[in-house]
């Protein structure tokens, strides 16, 4: 049985002071027994790590594919590890679309991060045009195969399926369509990694809110959610963590 995984992605939001307020507030809440993670801006990682209760993991939203050296503006796996950060999101659609990270760069980051002992949440997802052309299954399969090229240690990987047209738009993918894609992703993993497909967690992301989380999370092949906007408010994020109350 895969344990549900509720992940927040703050994107470029919250100063360290605001992160501290969030940490103190959420520490007071009763949280269901799910795995919980918050991916925060680099400047917030230390304060979260030191102040959040230990049952909430702290992750970076990006990491360099290089070890160290002349890479202005980048953050290395060594730096993350020195702060005891052991999880990182790689390949978020905003990294792909705005910062033009391609599958090769993303694959290099995944290989480097796993090689350095980090756990990776690899994001995939199609644009509206790709879905309208009915190429979404092919597109996502390709992103998975390329993103995981030469990756052996699949136990270090979580996949997040985030259709670009559903991110920050209020247009959630229907739970049925999300489930269908997550099932396809699991089949792709099975072709290459055999039984590990039963263990890997596949998340859905894109306009997940307190009022739709329970329906999404009740699907067999959806093992968790990656939540952007609704992870910024403690009350909303806690309602998603405690989604079973709405079943
Ligand atoms: P959203 O973002 O929940 O605000 O749509 C999800 C994400 O980009 O991870």
Rounded to the nearest 10 degrees, what angle do helices 42-51 and 16-27 cross at?
Answer: 30
0.95 surpassed by pTM? yes
- Residue having the nearest C-alpha atom to atom 7 of ligand 1: 228
Main-chain dihedrals φ then ψ at residue 63, nearest 5 degrees: -155, 155
pLDDT tens-digit profile of 103-136? Answer: 999 999 999 999 999 999 999 999 999 999 999 9
Regarding the beta carbon of 200 and ligand 1, being less than 6 Å apart is answered no
* SS3 of residue 81 by DSSP: helix
Q: Rounded mean pLDDT of 203-214?
A: 96
- Residue having the nearest C-alpha atom to atom 9 of ligand 1: 228
Q: Is 92 a catalytic residue?
A: yes
Ligand 1 atom having least distance to the Cα of 94? 8
Q: Rounded mean pLDDT of 234-240?
A: 98
Residue 215 pLDDT exceeds 80? yes
The residue whose two tokens read 């199609």 is 126
Ligand 1 atom having least distance to the Cα of 208? 3
Q: Which domain holds residue 81?
A: 5-246
- What confidence score (pLDDT) does residue 30 get? 97
- What confidence score (pLDDT) does residue 225 get? 98
Strands annotated E in the chain = 5-9, 35-39, 56-60, 87-90, 119-124, 157-161, 202-205, 224-227
**Sign of the torsion angle spanned by Cα atoms 227, 229, 232, 235:** negative
Q: What is the pLDDT of the chain when averaged over all its residues?
A: 97
Please enumerate in sequence order all residues whose Cβ is within 8 A of that of 234, keeping only pairs 6 or more positions apart, or say none.
22, 25, 26, 29
- Which entry of 65, 101, 126, 162 is annotated as an active-site residue? 162
- Residue having the nearest C-alpha atom to atom 3 of ligand 1: 228
Residue 170 pLDDT exceeds 90? no
The closest alpha carbon to 140, from 197, 195, 178, belongs to 178
C-beta of residue 121 within 8 angstroms of C-beta of residue 203: yes
Residue 152 pLDDT exceeds 90? yes
- What confidence score (pLDDT) does residue 103 get? 98
Angstrom distance (rounded) from CA 203 to CA 57: 16
Regarding the beta carbon of 229 and ligand 1, being less than 6 Å apart is answered yes
- What confidence score (pLDDT) does residue 150 get? 98
- Domain at 114, CATH number: 3.20.20.70
Angstrom distance (rounded) from CA 118 to CA 111: 10
Q: Exposed, middle or buried by CB within 10 Å (0-12, 13-18, 19+), for 204?
A: buried
Give 146's pLDDT tier (boundaries 50, 70, 90).
very high
Cα 167 to averaged position of ligand 1 atoms, centre (Å): 5
Regarding the beta carbon of 208 and ligand 1, being less than 6 Å apart is answered yes
C-beta of residue 1 within 8 angstroms of C-beta of residue 28: no
Q: Exposed, middle or buried by CB within 10 Å (0-12, 13-18, 19+), for 117?
A: exposed
Q: Is 135 a catalytic residue?
A: no
Residue 82 pLDDT exceeds 80? yes
Residue 172 pLDDT exceeds 80? no
**Sign of the torsion angle spanned by Cα atoms 71, 72, 76, 78:** positive
- What confidence score (pLDDT) does residue 118 get? 98
Reported as half-sphere exposure (CB side, CA atoms, 13 A), residue 167 has a value of 22
Domain total in the chain: 1
pLDDT tens-digit profile of 11-60? Answer: 999 999 999 999 999 999 999 999 999 999 999 999 999 999 999 999 99
- What confidence score (pLDDT) does residue 89 get? 98
- Residue having the nearest C-alpha atom to atom 2 of ligand 1: 228
């Amino acid at each position: 049985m895969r344990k549900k995984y509720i992940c927040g992605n703050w994107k470029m939001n919250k100063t360290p002071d605001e992160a501290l307020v969030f940490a103190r507030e959420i520490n007071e809440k009763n949280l269901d027994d799910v795995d919980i993670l918050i991916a925060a801006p680099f400047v917030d990682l230390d304060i979260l790590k030191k102040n959040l209760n230990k049952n909430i993991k702290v992750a970076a939203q990006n990491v360099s594919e290089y070890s160290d050296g002349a890479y202005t503006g980048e953050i290395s796996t060594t730096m993350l590890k020195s702060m005891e950060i052991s999880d990182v999101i790689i390949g978020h659609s905003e990294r792909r679309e705005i910062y033009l990270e391609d599958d090769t760069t993303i694959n290099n980051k995944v290989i480097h991060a796993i090689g350095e002992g980090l756990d990776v949440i690899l994001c995939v997802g199609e644009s509206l045009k790709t879905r309208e052309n009915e190429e979404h299954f092919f597109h996502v399969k390709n992103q998975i195969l390329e993103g995981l090229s030469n990756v052996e240690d699949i136990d270090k990987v979580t996949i997040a399926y985030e259709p670009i047209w559903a991110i920050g738009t209020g247009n959630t993918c229907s739970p049925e369509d999300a489930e269908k894609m997550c099932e396809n992703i699991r089949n792709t993993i099975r072709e290459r990694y055999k039984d590990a497909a039963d263990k890997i967690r596949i998340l859905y992301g894109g306009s997940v809110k307190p009022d739709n989380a329970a329906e999404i999370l009740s699907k067999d092949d959806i093992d968790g959610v990656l939540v952007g906007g609704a992870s910024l408010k403690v009350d909303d994020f806690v309602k998603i963590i405690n989604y079973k109350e709405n079943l």
